[in-house]
Amino acid sequence: DVKVTQSSRYLVKRTGEKVFLECVQDMDHENMFWYRQDPGLGLRLIYFSYDVKMKEKGDIPEGYSVSREKKERFSLILESASTNQTSMYLCASTRTDEAFFGQGTRLTVV
Amino acid sequence: GNSVTQMEGPVTLSEEAFLTINCTYTATGYPSLFWYVQYPGEGLQLLLKATKADDKGSNKGFEATYRKETTSFHLEKGSVQVSDSAVYFCALSRHNFNKFYFGSGTKLNVKP
């Protein structure tokens, strides 16, 4: 059974903290994505990676960075968390005919 | 550019009612089209897909037909159940990095 695993289901962090969200996939996919999901806005692409150490900005990259040191792992980094980054974060890896999602991380910044 | 537009929710239906959720897309070339479903507290999972014009995707009683002439991929189900209550996302994919573009999602509430 194919899997995308996100390290945490729920996180509470303080404003200004550096936050790491981890995502691991076991399908040997080259392409991995980070989205955030907010009510009424659907899924918005933050960053994606098409190979190890390669990354591209999505639609809303401000305040975020990413790291892809190994093919199976794609990390999202909030350099200095702010309350407007409170959201559901979804990681996905894709092949041409399907996107596979993790279960999501609900992040609250207080 | 590439984008997906789907009807706003929430949609509230009684059990056994007919469901339609509209989806239209804008894309260059020939995208693949998808419906994903998200149950409460979960990530998204694939419901059905179609990879070329006139293809019909189907799964769990849901159907959608890829209509190139109207750039649409409407989701239908003949008789909904309470367990179908979820958020439904229409999406397209292009071959550049297998990037997916999602609609804003439509929440479906089915009442007994």
The predicted structure's pLDDT at residue B96: 67
pLDDT reading at B24 higher than 80: yes
Residue B40 preceded by cis peptide, ω within 30: no
Q: What is the pLDDT of residues A51-86, one digit of tens each?
A: 999 999 999 999 999 999 999 999 999 999 999 999
What residues of chain B lie within 8 A of the CB of A101, using their CB?
36, 43-45
Q: Is A99's CB within 8 Å of B44's CB?
A: yes
The answer to whether A86 and A11 are in contact (CB under 8 A) is: no
Residue, of B43 and A81, whose pLDDT is higher: A81
What residues of chain A lie within 8 A of the CB of B44, using their CB?
43, 90, 92, 99, 101
Mean pLDDT of chain A: 93
The answer to whether B51 and B5 are in contact (CB under 8 A) is: no
Average pLDDT of span B30-51: 92
Q: Is B43's CB within 8 Å of A56's CB?
A: no
pLDDT reading at A42 higher than 90: no
For B87, the closest chain A residue by CA position comes to A42
What residue ranges in B2-83 does DSSP mark as E strands?
A: 3-6, 11-14, 19-21, 23-26, 32-38, 44-50, 56-59, 62-65, 75-77
The predicted structure's pLDDT at residue B2: 84
Could you give the CA distance from residue A23 to residue A6 in angstroms, rounded to a whole number?
5
The predicted structure's pLDDT at residue B99: 83
The predicted structure's pLDDT at residue B30: 84
Instruction: Please name the member of A31, A97, A99 whose beta carbon is closest to the beta carbon of B51.
Output: A97
Beta bridge partners, A4, equal A25
The answer to whether B90 and B35 are in contact (CB under 8 A) is: yes
Average pLDDT of span B7-20: 94
